[in-house]
Every structure is written in C-alpha cells, then in structure tokens.
Amino acid sequence: MTPTLGQTILDHASALARFSDMEDGLTCAFLTPAHRATQAQLVKWMEDAGMQVRIDAIGNVIGRYAADPAVTEPKVLMTGSHFDTVRNGGRYDGRLGILLPIVVVHALNVAGIRLPYHFDIVGFAEEEGLRFKTSFLASSVLAGRFDEALLDREDADGITMRDALGAAAFPGAADPAALRAAAVDPATLAGFVEVHIEQGPVLLNRGLPLGIVTQIAGSSRFQVRVEGLASHAGTTPMDMRRDAATGAAEMTLLVESRCAQVPTLVGTVGQLQVPNGSSNVIPGACVFSMDIRAGEDGIREAAIADILAGIQSIAARRGLTATVDRVTPVNNAPCARWLMDQLGAVLKKRGLEAFELPSGAGHDAMMMQRITDVAMLFVRCGNGGISHNPLETITAEDAQLAAETFVDFLRHFRADRTN
C-alpha cells in the first residue's frame, strides 16, 4: 500500500473543511450550499476511486465498489459516516469514516483488487441534528425508520424540511414514498462497519492508535420551553418575579447533579436562550436543549424520569410553566462480536492491541444496528481527545495505520460469521 494514504485522507478532510456555512471555522448543516458542495466533492472522489455513485432521496451519497464479477449473488458490506457537522466543529468527526474508505477503495482499484462482495460507502447527509434538531436523520432513511412527520419540521428561519429537500431536488426528495423506498433491504447486507475518530481521550491516554467499539451509548434529546412573566428589571421586587431564565438555570443544575450520580451517565444543556431578551426585562421565556446519555438504557431512562419530574417541580415552585418536547430517543446499540473479532484479528496480525472500548458519542452505526450487525473502528483523537471543536485532530500516521488495517479487514472479511 502506498504510504501516502494517511496524508491523502488528511488532505481530503482539509479540502472539505473549506466548504463551510461560517467564515472562520467549519459548520456544515443539512442542505446548505456548503453541504451541497461537500456532497458534490464526495461524489467526485467516489467516482475517481472506481465506484458507481448515486444520491438518495435524503441526500446520502452512496458509492458501490462492485464485487468481483465471478462471485454470484454477492452480499453488501456497508461502511460510512456523516458529512454534516456541528456548529464550529472538527473536520474528522464523520468525514473520516467516508474519506478513509474512499482512499482505500481507490488504492484497491488501482491495484486491480476486487472483493468477493459489494462494498458500499455511504456519506450520510445528516447525523448531528444541527438544522432541524433531528437525530440520525439520514441513517434513519437507509434503515427504513424515517419519521415522515419530520418533513413539516422547521429550521430556525421557518423553512420546512419538506421545502429544503424539495429545493435540493434529489431523486424523490421530500416524497414520503421515495424516502421509504430508499431503505436498504436488510437481507442484502453482510453488515455495517464504521470508522470514526474516537472523540475522546481513551486511546490517546493508553498510547494506542486504534480501538474496537463494544457498544454505542443510547441518547435522548429534549427541547424545553420555560414560560414566566416578562416584567420591569428595575421595579419588580426579587420575591415577586417569575423569571424563566433563573428557573432554567436551576433546571440545568439539576441535569448536572442528577447525571453526576452514575459514572456512565452524562447530561448536557448545550443550547440556552432567552428569546427576544433585553438587559432590563426579566426573562418571560427561556428555551434550552437537554442531551442525556448512558451505556445502559435503564440508567438513562431512570435519570430522564427524575429530571422531567424535577423540571416540573422547579417550575411549579417558581410560578413557571415548562413544556418538554422529546426528540426521538435512540437506545444503546451493541456491536456484533463476530465483526469485532474480525477487526481484532487484523489488529493483532499487525502487532497491535485489539483494545475494546465503548462509545459515548452517537454514530450512524446505531441506526444501522436496527437492521444489520455493526462494528466500529476508532482512530485516536489528538489534542487531549477534544472533539466537536475545531481543535479536533488526528495524525497522518494514525490515518495511514487505520487505512492499512481497514484494507486487511476488507481482504479477510468473511460474511459467514465464522472467523
């Protein structure tokens, strides 16, 4: 294998990072001009790598490296990750899991190596939920789990998903029947294996370049609207206020204290706003997001029950109302042992530790796990493991090792679940 695979992956990530919704950083929200430019670039790279490429009804870019023609009724091994980002995010979250396999396929194609199965790479159009506050939007289409009610959901500018998709004009975009038809037939799949930057410090602290994921923590997201009474900041005595923001602050602290009670539980209020607030007006409304995750669904659900009850009692005590809108929760997704073992075998053959770790971050593999067996290969995250941040980084050496390991995995892959 050419030693420049790793550097090519980093160069591609830099090239994609130039398509951004913001000037001094990387934001790539669903169906913005930057998102469309990213999508078009992925199509081109997949075609250059020797793949047949199509865009589905939600905007996923799907490239196929066709099986060796001598193989009858080949199965499909699928890989991929998302190309949207969080606001001011990193350039590897999601994109590494598209770019690495593209570069790998390019190398296989140049070497004239065909695989005994179709190898599909999916650039998932949306995973982060930035524009429409969804979760796993694009993979839900492929997994046949798309919630059609989402077509009416509006972004911050009041544009519905239906209109945004209609304007994008993918084949079948915004047509519920076409979105349903875009689901893959699970019977055709041999499995789904996603490569992703770890987004945490575990591999870095252990001095390991790669790791194998055991399970992906389940997550629940909410939007909470607290209503109080807007009134004069100078004339309303402290004991006569119905301040929505101080109520939301107490609710935020409740999320923190409840989630600190269990080591695998995490809770985050990542958005907190006083709509139309003024410095001299007591906040009449406050809206905030909650993101709650745990490796075990029961632990997450127990925390959610306590937090939702606590929010109502804080609201009642303060003379406020709190309305909670639940975004689709996703349960914990275990990875398949037979796929993990095949990844482990190739790591060991290279003299690397087959280190296993759970994922606290959500991934497209979670949704794909609803229809097929999944596994994930994590690549070490630099800079102390920081992610969802422009400081997110990987090295060319680690990308090279991950690419070579992935080649070994593909060349040894057996779909019959025996190792």
Binding-site residue numbers for allantoate are 221, 280, 293
Considering beta carbons, is residue 8 or 134 the nearer one to ligand GLV?
A: 134
Q: By rule CB under 6 A, what count of residues binds ligand GLV?
A: 3
Cβ-proximal residue to ligand GLV, closest one: 362
> Can you read off the two tokens belonging to residue 185?
């037939």
Q: Which does 362 bind (CB under 5 to 8 A by kind): ligand GLV, Mn ion, none?
A: ligand GLV
Query: Residue 144 CB, nearest distance to ligand GLV (Å)?
Result: 21
Residues at the contact surface with Mn ion, assessed by CB under 5 A: 93-94
> Can you read off the two tokens belonging to residue 288?
């905030």
Query: Residue 221 CB, nearest distance to ligand GLV (Å)?
Result: 9
Q: For residue 177, what are the CA distances in angstroms to 30, 59, 173, 187, 331?
A: 21, 15, 10, 21, 26
Q: Measured between alpha carbons, how far is 57 from 164 in angstroms, rounded to an integer?
A: 12
Residue type, 299: I
Q: Is 361 in the site for ligand GLV (CB under 6 A)?
A: yes
Residue type, 108: L
Evaluate whether 273 touches 283 at the Cβ level (below 8 Å). Answer: no
Question: Which residues sit in the known binding site?
Answer: 82, 93, 128, 196, 221, 280, 293, 388
Q: Is 367 exposed, middle or buried (0-12, 13-18, 19+ CB in 10 A)?
A: buried
Q: Which does 5 bind (CB under 5 to 8 A by kind): ligand GLV, Mn ion, none?
A: none
Query: Residue 276 CB, nearest distance to ligand GLV (Å)?
Result: 28
Question: What is the dihedral sign for C-alpha 43, 46, 51, 56?
Answer: negative
Residue 216 pairs with which residues in a beta bridge? 333, 359
Q: Is 362 in the site for ligand GLV (CB under 6 A)?
A: yes
Pattern 124-163, binding to ligand GLV, x per CB under 6 A? ----x-----------------------------------
Q: Is 193 in the site for ligand GLV (CB under 6 A)?
A: no
Question: What is the dihedral sign for C-alpha 151, 39, 86, 294?
Answer: positive
- Write the DSSP symbol of residue 228: -
Query: Residue 128 CB, nearest distance to Mn ion (Å)?
Result: 5
Query: Residue 362 CB, nearest distance to ligand GLV (Å)?
Result: 3
Q: Which stretches of the chain bind ligand GLV, using CB under 6 A? A: 128, 361-362
